[in-house]
């Protein structure tokens, strides 16, 4: 027969009796569940602590819960800042300031308020305000054994001693905006541009949090700018400008509705009302992002990791003379001159809008002057690089298209309320344009610093009286032998893409020594279109004519820089040359075949062995030749 024994330990609580075989014992007072969560678990940041527990014994006024959180920084003045949920009454942190230790002994004591009672086996959650604690300044792992919880119970002669909290938050790296970038389009000086800012915070961005981008030298012109979001989840941002001084021109973004989840790549674009400043190098340290958080996750102004350069606005000048049969130079002023100048700009397609006013495209303008004697008017168009080529072609075609120019002039004159003299196309003639070179001989800055302005190479067909044109001869190196760069574009503004690193040699080289492979491809690593790609590919302008890319990658490679190895190479439309199988992104070659694509015969056939040796030596010679020319 089992024996059951209960004991009246106090006038308030009677521990339940339990049966252990034929023996009798009083049940131990203990926590049956306990967790600790830091809701802002980043180094040194203010954080609320959420402490949850369940005990198999009732709690009453003056009973306490003691939580030890080593490394946390506690603020005594905020000790009473806590809330309780499901606890039957409120718990408050009552630790006296002189006893609230920090560092290794950081400890918070919570006491139940008078009149309260927490029944046994009832889940209780205590949440402190963020002002009470800041996370440690060094990382801590989750479920740290030195984070403990204990209780002191007046009605019990044995209270639960301090034991590890089995589930608690890790304290990770400091808050960060992650990889940040700024893209300007266009990126020329004093140009109306869109601004695209990207960031990936490792913490939640909350409603009313603020991201500030500071762009010194920029001009911000709107009182009601707009922003578009890409990849930002359901978070909607608003933007306002601080244009009180160009030295600290700022775009201020505010999260407006839903939080942005941690590690979410978010891009914010302001497409208008921004004008770039003067010439500035890429990745300028003066361009910064800062962050202001409603929960204290503030980030001081930090340089944007990658940002567009602001390049010089290179100007091409086109002069063209129009001779009128009858013209008084004193009449060439005011609305008359403006109508003809606008018409000339419209014909060259450097005018963005002609509805009542003439708005020139970025970096473009038209002026004119009438000869004091005679009937000749000289037009001078200054044109930025983006429109120079097309405008030059249009100026040449204008020689035989006087009716269109006259039509444009008459339309603008009507918009300006100006009466033009009655003219027909027989009343004026248009001379061929003179295009002033878009760069100055010997200049590097006119060629974006990536080339030198010089006369174009002779085609062999010029006569002695024909002068060759000046153009930018682009560099094929940036002066760093380990990172050779080729530049393209009329102003050498586009670098050919480079692979970031040389890929590892293939695991199966056959008769090819690994050292020889590394020597050959180390010699040409980092050149445009990447390592072995130089044997079969070239760098060209992309379809939009606003960047460079690799035109053709060799078998086994892909990407703008031919930097990505494909799953397995195809040779002559055969996977692994038809002499192997694809395994783990590499060809596993059949017997007697080798090399990364199984194209090299290494069998016992003497003739084929000699042929294979010549093939490989030719490849090495070709690679060395490419390296020598770059």
pLDDT of residue 80: 59
Residues 262 and 361 in one domain: no
Residues 230 and 359 in one domain: no
Cα(561)–Cα(565) distance, integer angstroms = 11
Residues 281 and 330 in one domain: no
Across the beta sheet with 181-185, the strand order is 228-230, 266-270, 194-199, 181-185, 306-307
pLDDT of residue 563: 67
pLDDT of residue 12: 39
How many C-beta atoms lie closer than 10 Å to residue 355's C-beta? 9
* Axis-axis angle for helices 606-629, 514-523 (nearest 10): 30
Domain range for residue 608? 514-629
Residues 186 and 161 in one domain: no
pLDDT of residue 435: 81
**Which CATH number does the domain housing residue 213 bear?**
2.60.40.2230
pLDDT of residue 554: 58
How many C-beta atoms lie closer than 10 Å to residue 446's C-beta? 23
The beta-carbon contacts of 89-98 under 8 Å, at least 24 apart in sequence, are: 89/61, 89/113, 89/115, 89/116, 89/117, 89/118, 90/116, 91/65, 91/124, 91/126, 93/128, 93/132, 94/64
Pair type for strands 124-128 and 570-571: unpaired
Residues 241 and 326 in one domain: no
pLDDT, tens digit (0-9, with 9 covering 90-100), for 149-193: 999 887 666 788 899 999 999 988 888 999 999 999 888 777 888
Residues 138 and 210 in one domain: no
DSSP 522: H
How many C-beta atoms lie closer than 10 Å to residue 73's C-beta? 16
Number of domains the chain contains: 4
Dig out the tokens for 342 from the structure.
């606008």
Residues 326 and 407 in one domain: yes
- Assigned domain for 446 exists: no
> Please, what is the Cα angle at 600 between 596 and 604, to 5 degrees?
135
Displacement of CA 337 from its chain's centroid (Å): 47
Residues 321 and 248 in one domain: no
pLDDT of residue 624: 46
SS (H, E, C) 463-487: CCCCCCCEEEEECCCCCCCCCCCCE
Are 276 and 189 within 8 A, CB to CB? Answer: yes
- Assigned domain for 489 exists: no
Write down which residue in 114, 141, 168 finishes a domain. 168
**Which CATH number does the domain housing residue 110 bear?**
2.60.40
Residues 258 and 201 in one domain: yes
Residues 113 and 157 in one domain: yes
- Assigned domain for 412 exists: yes
- Assigned domain for 5 exists: no
Pair type for strands 124-128 and 49-55: antiparallel
- Assigned domain for 469 exists: no
Write down which residue in 255, 286, 307 finishes a domain. 307
Dig out the tokens for 380 from the structure.
């001078």
Average pLDDT, 10 consecutive residues per value, the chain (630 residues): 37 39 56 93 87 92 89 73 78 56 78 85 90 86 94 79 93 88 87 92 92 94 91 95 83 94 94 88 94 89 94 79 82 88 93 76 85 82 82 91 92 87 85 78 77 66 40 67 64 71 49 45 49 53 73 65 70 80 76 84 62 48 44
Are 460 and 468 within 8 A, CB to CB? Answer: no
- Assigned domain for 614 exists: yes
For residue 535, the SS3 value is: helix
pLDDT of residue 506: 52
Residues 134 and 207 in one domain: no
Write down which residue in 429, 459, 494 finishes a domain. 429
Cα(72)–Cα(128) distance, integer angstroms = 13
pLDDT of residue 354: 60
- Assigned domain for 565 exists: yes
Cα(481)–Cα(422) distance, integer angstroms = 66
- Assigned domain for 7 exists: no
Cα(37)–Cα(133) distance, integer angstroms = 12
pLDDT, tens digit (0-9, with 9 covering 90-100), for 227-249: 999 999 999 999 999 987 767 89
Residues 117 and 243 in one domain: no
Residue that is written with structure tokens 């070179």 in the block: 437
The 3-state DSSP composition of the chain as helix, strand, coil percent (nearest 5) reads 15, 30, 50
């Amino acid at each position: 027969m089992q024996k059951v024994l209960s004991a009246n330990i106090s006038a308030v609580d009677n521990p339940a009796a339990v049966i252990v075989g034929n023996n009798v014992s009083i049940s131990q007072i203990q926590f049956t569940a306990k967790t600790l969560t830091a809701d802002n678990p980043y180094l040194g940041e203010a954080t609320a602590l959420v402490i949850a527990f369940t005990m198999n014994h009732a709690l009453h006024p003056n009973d306490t819960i003691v939580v030890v959180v080593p490394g946390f920084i506690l603020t005594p003045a905020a000790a009473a800042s806590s809330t309780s949920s499901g606890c039957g009454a409120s718990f408050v942190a009552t630790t006296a300031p002189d006893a609230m230790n920090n560092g290794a002994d950081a400890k918070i004591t919570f006491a139940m308020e008078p009149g309260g009672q927490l029944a046994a086996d009832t889940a209780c959650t205590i949440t402190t305000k963020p002002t009470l604690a800041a996370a440690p300044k060094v990382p801590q792992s989750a479920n740290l054994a030195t984070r403990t919880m204990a209780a002191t119970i007046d009605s019990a002669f044995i209270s639960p001693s301090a034991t590890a909290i089995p589930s608690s938050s890790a304290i990770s790296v400091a808050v960060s905006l992650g990889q940040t970038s700024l893209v300007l389009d266009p990126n020329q000086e004093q140009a109306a541009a869109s601004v695209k800012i990207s960031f990936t915070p490792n913490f939640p961005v909350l409603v009313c949090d603020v991201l500030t981008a500071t762009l010194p030298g920029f001009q911000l012109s709107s009182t009601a700018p707009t922003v578009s979001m890409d990849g930002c989840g359901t978070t909607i941002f608003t933007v306002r400008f601080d244009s009180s001084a160009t030295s600290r021109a700022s775009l201020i973004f505010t999260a407006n509705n839903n939080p942005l989840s941690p590690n979410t790549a978010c891009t914010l674009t302001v497409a208008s009302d921004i004008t770039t400043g003067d010439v500035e190098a890429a990745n300028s340290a003066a361009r910064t992002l800062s962050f202001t958080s409603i929960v204290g996750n503030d980030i001081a102004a930090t340089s944007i990791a990658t940002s567009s350069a602001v390049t010089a606005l290179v100007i091409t000048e086109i002069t063209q003379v129009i001779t009128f049969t009858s013209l008084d130079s004193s009449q060439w002023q005011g609305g008359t001159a403006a109508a003809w100048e606008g018409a000339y700009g419209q014909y060259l397609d450097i005018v963005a809008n002609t509805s009542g006013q003439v708005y020139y495209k970025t970096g473009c303008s038209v002026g004119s002057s009438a000869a004091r004697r005679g009937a000749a008017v000289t037009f001078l168009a200054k044109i930025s690089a983006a429109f120079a080529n097309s405008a030059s072609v249009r100026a040449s075609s204008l020689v035989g298209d006087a009716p269109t120019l006259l039509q444009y002039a008459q339309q603008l004159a009507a918009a300006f309320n100006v009466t033009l003299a009655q003219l027909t196309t027989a009343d004026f003639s248009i001379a061929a344009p003179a295009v002033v070179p878009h760069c100055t001989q010997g200049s590097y800055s006119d060629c974006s610093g990536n080339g030198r302005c010089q006369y174009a190479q002779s085609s062999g067909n010029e006569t002695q009286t024909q002068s060759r044109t000046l153009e930018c001869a682009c560099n094929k190196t940036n002066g760093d032998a380990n990172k050779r760069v080729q530049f393209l574009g009329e102003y050498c503004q586009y670098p050919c893409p480079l692979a970031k690193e040389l890929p590892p040699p293939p695991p199966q080289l056959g008769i090819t020594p690994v050292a020889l492979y590394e020597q050959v491809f180390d010699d040409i690593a980092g050149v445009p279109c990447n390592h072995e790609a130089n044997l079969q590919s070239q760098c060209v302008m992309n379809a939009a004519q606003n960047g460079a890319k690799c035109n053709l990658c060799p078998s086994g490679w892909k990407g703008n820089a031919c930097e990505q190895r494909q799953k397995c190479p195809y040779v002559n439309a055969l996977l692994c040359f038809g002499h192997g199988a694809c395994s783990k992104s590499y060809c596993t070659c059949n017997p007697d075949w080798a090399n990364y694509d199984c194209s090299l015969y290494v069998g016992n056939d003497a003739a084929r062995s000699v042929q294979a040796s010549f093939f490989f030596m030719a490849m090495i010679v070709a690679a060395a030749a490419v390296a020598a020319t770059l």
